[in-house]
């Protein structure tokens, strides 16, 4: 069966363009997995659910572009291998026809896919390095001018946090619910919990 994975990074971004492409391919709406989450890693609930229960051997998974699958190319290579070799799923990247595992099942086809993924990983890593270099240079120049103030610290509603912390520890709420209520990401939530527990000695 065909399936489609659609991802946008933020809640205010629109996924309809990607969804429309999947529907044009004749993919059943129930088989289009839509997620609003960062592509920095694969710790995403919809993606994990799709992989665990939504895909079976012989299925074809369509993705609009490789960065919709994710942005960490080292992890993409691992996931690509897991999907194609372990689960037996074919992958089609719509904006990059060379990444279509249905076309060639022989060694050459596999080699081409591996080379393309390696190249994408190299380009992405170079771009990340350039961005970090530019950021570091910008910060250094701002410090020289005495105008660098650093990242503004996020304001957290302490009363709400402590309430949610207790509810999560008592299993009345999920950590995901608490993160959404506070408007924070997972790493911030767990850092807040660790800091709170260290400061108060409270673990429940």
Which are the catalytic amino acids?
9
Whole-angstrom Cα distance, residue 135 to residue 149?
A: 14
| 26-30 CB contacts, 8 Å cutoff, 24+ apart | 26/2, 27/2, 27/3, 27/62, 28/1, 28/2
CA 39 from centre of chain: 2
Residue 94 contacts residue 63 (beta carbons within 8 Å): yes
Instruction: Return the sign of the alpha-carbon dihedral for residues 23, 25, 30, 32.
Output: negative
Instruction: Tell me if 112 sits within 8 A of 80, measured CB to CB.
Output: no
């Amino acid at each position: 069966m065909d399936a489609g994975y659609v991802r946008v990074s933020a809640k205010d971004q629109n996924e309809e363009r990607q969804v429309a492409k999947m529907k044009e391919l004749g993919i059943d709406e129930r088989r289009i997995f839509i997620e609003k989450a960062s592509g920095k890693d694969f710790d995403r609930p919809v993606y994990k659910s799709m992989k665990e229960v939504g895909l079976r051997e012989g299925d074809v998974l369509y993705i609009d572009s490789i960065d919709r699958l994710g942005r960490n190319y080292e992890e993409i290579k691992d996931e690509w291998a897991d999907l194609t070799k372990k689960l037996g799923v074919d992958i089609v990247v719509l904006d990059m026809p060379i990444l279509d595992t249905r076309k060639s099942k022989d060694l050459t086809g596999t080699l081409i896919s591996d080379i393309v993924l390696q190249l994408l990983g190299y380009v992405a890593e170079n771009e990340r390095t350039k961005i970090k270099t530019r950021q570091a240079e910008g910060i250094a120049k701002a410090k020289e001018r005495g105008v660098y103030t650093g990242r503004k610290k996020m304001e957290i509603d302490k009363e709400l946090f402590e309430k949610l912390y207790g509810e999560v520890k008592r299993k009345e709420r999920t950590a995901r619910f608490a993160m959404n209520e506070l408007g924070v990401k997972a790493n911030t939530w767990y850092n807040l919990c660790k800091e709170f527990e260290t400061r108060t000695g409270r673990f429940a």
